[in-house]
Structure 1
Amino acid sequence: MIRLDNISKQAGHQILFIDASMGIQKGEKAGLVGPNGAGKTTLFRMIAGQERPDDGQVVIDAGMTIGYFSQDVGEMSGQSAVAAVMDGAGPLSALLAEMGTLEAAMVDPDQADDMDALIARYGDVQGQFEELDGYALEGRAREVLAGLSFSQERMDGDVGLLSGGWKMRVALARILLMRPDGMLLDEPSNHLDLESLIWLEAFLKNYDGALLMTSHDREFMNRIVGKVVEIDGGSLITYSGNYDFYEQQRALGEKQRQAQFERQQAMLAKEIKFIERFKARASHAAQVQSRVKKLDKIERVEPPRRRQTVQFEFRPAPRSGDDVVGFRGIHKRYGSQSIYAGFDLQVRRKERWCVLGVNGAGKSTLLKLAAGADAPDDGAVVVGSSVKMGYFAQHSMELLDGDETIFESLEASFPQAGQGPLRALAGCFGFSGDDVEKRCRVLSGGEKARLVMAKMLFDPPNLLVLDEPTNHLDMATKEMLVAALAEFEGTMLFVSHDRHFLAALSNRVLELTPDGIHQYAGGYTEYVARTGQEAPGLHPGG
C-alpha cells in the first residue's frame, strides 16, 4: 500500500535517512517515533509527494488517496468552519459555494431582472449537489466538527476568527471527512481537549485505511497503533505492537547490544594485551601476526546510542499551611453565561486536584481565580498561610523576552544562582550545549513551554496551578515532568488532556458538568473506574 524502498535523504548538512525501508498495508495503524529533528515530518512529506528522496523510492499503490495533516495550517478565512471542512471534499465545495452566491443574488433587488436565469442556474447546481450526496456530506462534516468539540455557533462562524488551535481542528476535520485510503497525521492530538481526543481515538480505531501518525500522547498512541516505526540514526526500524511494547523491545535490544559490545571489548583488550606483550619476541612472531590479522578482520560491535534522559529534582519547597486555597461562594459570569454560581471548594496540603469538564465548563477560569489572574464577581478566593504559588498557563509563553537567550532569561529570573546550577536546569529541560544561546523569539512552542516550566520549578513553589502543562511537550520531557512531579511534596491544581499525566499525578478529581460540580476522592484512575467514562459528557462506547 505505502512502501519506502532504500531511501536516502539529506537536509542541509544533516543526513536524515540512509538506505531506509518500511511498509504499511491497508488496515494497518502505525506510530512513527524518533527524537526531535530525526526527520519525521520529512518522511511524511515524502509519502505525501511534497518532497522527493535523494535516492531510493516511495511506492504508493495506484489510485490510492492520501490525506496529510500537518502542524502547518494554511490561511483560512472568509468562509464558515463547515465550508472549510467540506472544501477538502473536492467538487462538492465548489457547488456549495456557487449555491451560496446564487442564494445571495436571488434576494438582491438589483438583480431582480435576472431572476429567471438565477433560479434556473440554482436548480442545475442544486441538482448536481444532490446527485453527489452533498446534503449528507454537510451532515457528516458537522458530525466530525462536533466530535472535535465545535459548537453549532463555532461551526457556522468565520474560520478566520478562530485561534490557531481551533484552525488546527478544522484542518484535521478536513482529512477525517475525506476518509482517504491512507492518512498521515503529524501530532493530531496537540490542541485537543480530553473529549475530542477520546472521540478521535474511536474514529481512528474504526478507520479501515492505512494510518501513520506521530503523537506525544502515550495513551493515545497505545490505544491506536499495532506497530511502531522508529527513525534511529538514519534507519527505519519496525516493531510490532503498541508504544509500550516498542519501549520494552527497544530497551531489551539496547541491553543485548551493550552486553555484546562489552564482551567484544573484553576480548579485544585480551588480544591487544597478548600482542603488546609478545611482539618483541621472535619465538612468538607467528602467533602475534595471526592475532593482528584476526583483529583486523573482526567486525566491531557499536555501543548502543544512549538516549539522553535527564531527571529534574525539586529542591525542598517551604511547607505551606494545611488550608492551601479556598473558594468561598464564588460567582463568575462571562457576558450572559454563568460559569460559577455559589461554588465552594477547599484545597488542602498535598492534595492534587485534576479539573475535568467539557469546553467552556470553566476549567481555565477556576485556575485563573486560584492564581489571582482573574477575580470572582462575587465570593472570595482565600489563599492560605505560607503558600508560594507557581502558575503555568498557555499565555505564560508570550511573556518571554524575545531578545534574550535561554540562558539570559534564566539568569534574569535567578541572578544569584550561578552558571553551573542554571546550565544543569537548562539541561533537565532539554537545552544542552549551545542550545542555551538560542534567542527566545526563535523557540518553538515546545521549547518555550519547557523554558517557562524550568523557571517555575527551579525556585520551588508549594502550590502548582497548571493549565495544560503538557501541550507542546515531547514524550521524553513529559516523562521527566511526570517523574519530577510525582516526587513533588506540595499541592497541585491542574487541567490536562493527557491521560497518562492525569492518572500518574492526581489524587482528587473535580468534575464540572452542566448538572453540577462533583468531587471525587481518589485520582483519575478511580474516577474512570467509578463513572465508567474517561471524561465528563462521554459515556462508555459513546
Structure 2
Amino acid sequence: MILLQAQQVARHFGADVLFENIDLDIQEHSRIALVGKNGAGKSTLLKMIIGEQAPDEGQIVTKKGLTMGYLAQNTGLESDKTIYEEMLSVFDKLRQMEQNLHKLEAQIADPNADHASKAYQQLLSRYDQLLHDFKEQNGYGYENEIRSVLHGFHFYPEDHDRPIASLSGGQKTRLALAKLLLEKRDLLILDEPTNHLDIETLTWLEGYIQNYQGALLIVSHDRYFLDKIVNEVYEITHGKAHYYKGNYSNYIVEREKRAQLAWKNYEKQQTEIHKLEDFVNKNLVRASTTKRAQSKRKQLEKMDRLDRPEGPEKNMHFRFKAEHESGNVVLTVSDGAIGYEGQIIAEPINFELRKRQIFAVVGSNGIGKSTLLKSILGKQPFIKGKATFGTNVHPGYYDQEQHNLHPQKTVLNELWDDHPTTPEKDIRSILGSFLFSGDDVKKMVHSLSGGEKARLLLTKLAMKHDNFLILDEPTNHLDIDSKEVLEQAIKEFDGTILLVSHDRYFINKVATSVLEIAPTGSTLYLGDYDYYVAKKEEQAELAEAKAKATQPEVVTKKEISAGKQSYAQSKEHQKMERKLTRKVAELEAKVEELDENKTELEQAMALPENFNDLDKMAKLQAQLETITAQLAQAETDWENSSMELENFNSEN
C-alpha cells in the first residue's frame, strides 16, 4: 500500500530552480535513502513531505490517517520533564489502559458482585477485550522497551531522573531520536540521524531500525548506515530526481552504468543523425536520389532526439602535498593518560606512528578521542605520560570545532592573510578548487554553512604542505561526493595521518590501522575498519568460550572442544566466503572492462578515417577478435564463480 506520493513537485527561488518534476513513492515498509550534494534540496523536500513547506508546483498526497515522525538536522528534544518521564509520555494511552484494567479487576473481585448477572458477564467480556488489546500493544513490556532504547543511546538507569533541560545539544538530539523510535509512526523521516552518534551507538541503531515496522525515509552521509538500512535510493542532481533499486553501494554501480548507457545511446544517435544529415546534404539536389534524401530528411524530423547527458555535478578537487619529508618515526605516545581537571578518562595510551601510516582513532563518545589529539599537539597537557614528535615532523591540525577560522574575515582573506606573498589570482584559483568561486570568496566566514567552513578548513590545511596531518572529524558537514574527494586526497598523500572519525566507511577506505581508546587504555589493530570489527568479534567469541570453560559443572570438556571446533569452522567458512566473493567481484570488473574495450574498438572501426584504411582495419579486427575471445572466457569464468559462491552459501 502506498503511504505517500510526491507528484511533480518543484521549488523555485525567483527565476532559479532548486528542483522540479520530482516524483517519489513511499510504500508500507519502504526503506528509502534520499541522496545528493549539499544544497541539492534534500532537506527542503523533506519539509514539503511533512507539510512544513508547500511545493511551488505539484502536490504531496498521503494515505488517510498517516502518522509521521520527523527528525530534523541537529534538532534536540526540549522538555521540562526528566528523561524517563518524557519517554514514558509516549505510552500515555497504554498506561491509561493499564489503569482501566486495574479498575475492572477491582470490580470483578468485588465480593458483592452478582456473578450470574448479565452485567457481570459483560464486565468480564470488557476486561478480556481490554486485556487482549493491552497485551497486543506490548502493555507488559513497554517499560523494558524504554530502558532498552535509552541504553542503546547511552542513557543508563542513573541518567533516567536527569532533567532534559540539563542535557547537551548532542544528548538532546539522541533523545529526540529515541522518542521517535518509541512512537512507532507509520513513516519515520530522518535528516542526518547519525550526527552525534559514536560507532557503538550507530551499530546498535542499525540493528534496531532494521526491525522497524513502519516505512523509513532517510537523508544521511553515512554510507555504511545506508548500506545496512535502505533498499531504494532517490538521487537529486541537476534539479531532477532519479530512482535506483538497491542499497547505497548498488546505487553507485547502477548510477555509473546508467551514465555510461546514456552517453552510449546519445553518441549512437548523434552518429546516426550525422550520417542522415550528410546523406541529405549530398543527395537532395541530385534528381536520381532526391526522393531518398527527402525520405531521410523526414526521418530526421520525426526522430525523438536525446538530450546531451549532463556530466557529474562540480566537485572540489585538491591534493595534500608535504613540502618536507619526515623521519621514519613520526610520533610516539608513551604511557599517556588523558582527561580534564586532573580526572583521568583513559590510560595508559601507548603507540608509535611511522611515516606514511594512517591511524584512525575510535572509541565511544566522551572517551577522549579529540582530547588525545589536543594533548598530542600540546593544546591540552597529558595528565600522565607524553607525546614525542620525530625528526623534521611538521604537524597540521583540522579542528572539528572550527576554531581555526576567523568569523570576521572574508573567505578570500582567511586564506590570503596566511599567504600574503601569493598572488590574489592564485589564491582565488585554489579557493575555486574547493568550490569557492566568484562572489563566494567575498562571503564572511561567520555566514558560511557547516559544509562551507569544512571546505575552507581543508583549503587552509592543503596550503600549508605539512607532512603530518592530525584530523578531528574531517568528514563532518561534508556531503558524500566531497568525502570521496577527501578520501582520495588522503590515500595519495605522501605524509602521515592521525585522524578521529565516526564515519566507518571513511575509516575503512583510508586507515592502515585502527587505534581503539577505552578507559583501560589503547589497543592497536593493524588493519582497516572491517578488520577491526572482525577482530573484536573474534575476541568476544573467545572471551565467551573462555567464560564457559571456567564453568565445568555446566559445560563439559567435550562441549568446549565442540565449541572451539565450531568456531574454527565458522571462521574458515567466513574466510572461504570472502575469497569467493572477492573472486566474483574481480571477474565482474574484468567483464565490464573487456566489454568497454570491445565497444571502444567497434566505435573506432566505424570511424571514416579507419574504415577506409585497410591496414588499420585489419589490426583493429584482430584486436576485436582477441578482446571478444577474452570477454567470452571472462563471462564463463564469472558465471562459474557466481555459481560456486551460490552453491557454497546454500550448502553452508
TM-score of the superposed pair, with normalisation by structure 2: 0.70
**Cross-structure match for 1:326:** 332
Residue correspondence of structure 1 range 77-96 to structure 2 within 5 A: 78-86=80-88
Separation in 1, partners of 2:378, 2:539: 30
**Cross-structure match for 2:646:** none
CA distance change for structure 1 residues 72 and 521 in 2, over 3 Å: closer, same or farther?
closer
Of 371, 391, 396, the residue aligned with 1:385 is 391
Tell whether 2:414 aligns with 1:409. Answer: yes
CA distance change for structure 1 residues 6 and 356 in 2, over 3 Å: closer, same or farther?
closer
- Contact conserved, 1:228 with 1:238, CA < 8 A, in 2? yes
CA distance change for structure 1 residues 467 and 142 in 2, over 3 Å: closer, same or farther?
farther
**Cross-structure match for 1:369:** 375
CA distance change for structure 1 residues 269 and 198 in 2, over 3 Å: closer, same or farther?
same
**Cross-structure match for 1:124:** none
Residue correspondence of structure 1 range 123-134 to structure 2 within 5 A: none
Separation in 1, partners of 2:377, 2:161: 34
Q: Which amino acid aligns with 1:357?
A: G
Structure 1: any 5+ residue segments left out of the alignment?
A: 95-129
Separation in 2, partners of 1:293, 1:389: 68
Q: Which amino acid aligns with 2:38?
A: N
Separation in 1, partners of 2:274, 2:502: 53
Q: Which amino acid aligns with 1:327?
A: V
Separation in 2, partners of 1:259, 1:224: 33
Of 490, 494, 502, the residue aligned with 1:497 is 502
Tell whether 2:344 aligns with 1:338. Answer: yes
Of 445, 448, 452, the residue aligned with 2:450 is 445
- For residue 250 of structure 2, give the secondary structure of its aligned residue in structure 1: helix
In terms of mean alpha carbon deviation, does 139-148 or 61-70 score higher?
Answer: 139-148
Tell whether 2:63 aligns with 1:58. Answer: no
- Contact conserved, 2:410 with 2:444, CA < 8 A, in 1? yes
Separation in 2, partners of 1:81, 1:447: 35
Separation in 2, partners of 1:204, 1:352: 32
- Contact conserved, 1:8 with 1:16, CA < 8 A, in 2? no
Cα distance, 1:192 vs. partner?
1.4
Separation in 1, partners of 2:189, 2:57: 22
Cα distance, 1:514 vs. partner?
3.6
Separation in 2, partners of 1:256, 1:184: 33
CA distance change for structure 1 residues 272 and 450 in 2, over 3 Å: closer, same or farther?
same
Cα distance, 1:478 vs. partner?
0.4
**Cross-structure match for 2:591:** none
Separation in 2, partners of 1:260, 1:39: 29
Q: Which amino acid aligns with 2:518?
A: T
**Cross-structure match for 1:8:** 9
**Cross-structure match for 1:220:** 225
Q: Which amino acid aligns with 2:247?
A: N
Cα distance, 1:244 vs. partner?
1.0
- For residue 24 of structure 1, give the secondary structure of its aligned residue in structure 2: strand
Of 177, 193, 196, the residue aligned with 2:201 is 196
Separation in 2, partners of 1:17, 1:86: 41
CA distance change for structure 1 residues 316 and 383 in 2, over 3 Å: closer, same or farther?
closer
- Contact conserved, 1:230 with 1:238, CA < 8 A, in 2? yes
Separation in 2, partners of 1:364, 1:490: 21
**Cross-structure match for 1:38:** 40
**Cross-structure match for 1:304:** 309
- Contact conserved, 1:355 with 1:495, CA < 8 A, in 2? yes
Q: Which amino acid aligns with 2:67?
A: T
Separation in 2, partners of 1:235, 1:333: 49
Residue correspondence of structure 1 range 204-243 to structure 2 within 5 A: 204-243=209-248
CA distance change for structure 1 residues 273 and 436 in 2, over 3 Å: closer, same or farther?
farther
Higher helix share: 2
- For residue 217 of structure 2, give the secondary structure of its aligned residue in structure 1: strand
**Cross-structure match for 2:575:** none
CA distance change for structure 1 residues 493 and 235 in 2, over 3 Å: closer, same or farther?
closer
CA distance change for structure 1 residues 383 and 166 in 2, over 3 Å: closer, same or farther?
same
May I ask how many residue pairs the two structures share in their alignment? 503
Of 452, 455, 463, the residue aligned with 2:460 is 455
In terms of mean alpha carbon deviation, does 310-319 or 210-219 score higher?
Answer: 310-319
**Cross-structure match for 1:125:** none
Of 22, 35, 50, the residue aligned with 2:24 is 22
Residue correspondence of structure 1 range 91-240 to structure 2 within 5 A: 139-152=144-157, 155-240=160-245
Q: Which amino acid aligns with 2:49?
A: I
- Contact conserved, 2:3 with 2:66, CA < 8 A, in 1? no
Separation in 1, partners of 2:341, 2:270: 72
Separation in 2, partners of 1:34, 1:534: 39
Structure 2: any 5+ residue segments left out of the alignment?
A: 97-133, 545-652
Separation in 1, partners of 2:385, 2:492: 34
Separation in 1, partners of 2:408, 2:371: 31
Q: Which amino acid aligns with 2:13?
A: G
Q: Which amino acid aligns with 2:398?
A: F
Cα distance, 1:201 vs. partner?
0.8
CA distance change for structure 1 residues 534 and 456 in 2, over 3 Å: closer, same or farther?
farther
Cα distance, 1:475 vs. partner?
0.2
- Contact conserved, 2:348 with 2:520, CA < 8 A, in 1? no
**Cross-structure match for 1:261:** 266
Separation in 2, partners of 1:523, 1:255: 32
- Contact conserved, 2:78 with 2:164, CA < 8 A, in 1? yes
In terms of mean alpha carbon deviation, does 172-181 or 377-386 score higher?
Answer: 377-386
Q: Which amino acid aligns with 2:24?
A: M
**Please, what is the CA RMSD of the aligned residues?**
3.3
- Contact conserved, 2:12 with 2:56, CA < 8 A, in 1? no
> Per-residue displacement from partner, 1:134-156 (whole Å, max 9, x unpaired)?
99656544432321233555554
Q: Which amino acid aligns with 1:67?
A: G
- Contact conserved, 1:189 with 1:217, CA < 8 A, in 2? yes
CA distance change for structure 1 residues 133 and 287 in 2, over 3 Å: closer, same or farther?
closer
Cα distance, 1:171 vs. partner?
2.0
Cα distance, 1:367 vs. partner?
0.9
Separation in 1, partners of 2:406, 2:244: 43
- For residue 325 of structure 2, give the secondary structure of its aligned residue in structure 1: coil
Separation in 1, partners of 2:95, 2:394: 54
Of 423, 427, 430, the residue aligned with 1:425 is 430
**Cross-structure match for 1:314:** 320
Q: Which amino acid aligns with 1:350?
A: R
Cα distance, 1:273 vs. partner?
4.1
Of 68, 71, 84, the residue aligned with 1:69 is 71
- For residue 417 of structure 2, give the secondary structure of its aligned residue in structure 1: helix
- For residue 394 of structure 1, give the secondary structure of its aligned residue in structure 2: coil
Q: Which amino acid aligns with 1:530?
A: K
- Contact conserved, 1:10 with 1:54, CA < 8 A, in 2? yes
Tell whether 2:357 aligns with 1:351. Answer: yes
Cα distance, 1:467 vs. partner?
1.5
- For residue 3 of structure 1, give the secondary structure of its aligned residue in structure 2: strand
Cα distance, 1:284 vs. partner?
6.7
Q: Which amino acid aligns with 2:483?
A: K
- Contact conserved, 1:188 with 1:215, CA < 8 A, in 2? yes
- Contact conserved, 2:206 with 2:229, CA < 8 A, in 1? yes
- Contact conserved, 1:312 with 1:484, CA < 8 A, in 2? yes
> Per-residue displacement from partner, 1:68-94 (whole Å, max 9, x unpaired)?
111162672544344455556667899
Separation in 2, partners of 1:388, 1:165: 33
CA distance change for structure 1 residues 83 and 303 in 2, over 3 Å: closer, same or farther?
farther
Tell me which of the two structures has the higher relative contact order, counting C-alpha pairs closer than 8 angstroms and 6 or more residues apart.
Answer: 1
Separation in 2, partners of 1:439, 1:82: 43
Cα distance, 1:20 vs. partner?
3.1
Separation in 2, partners of 1:443, 1:484: 23
Separation in 1, partners of 2:425, 2:95: 59
- For residue 166 of structure 1, give the secondary structure of its aligned residue in structure 2: helix
In terms of mean alpha carbon deviation, does 291-300 or 259-268 score higher?
Answer: 291-300
Separation in 1, partners of 2:461, 2:95: 48
- Contact conserved, 1:528 with 1:534, CA < 8 A, in 2? no
TM-score of the superposed pair, with normalisation by structure 1: 0.83
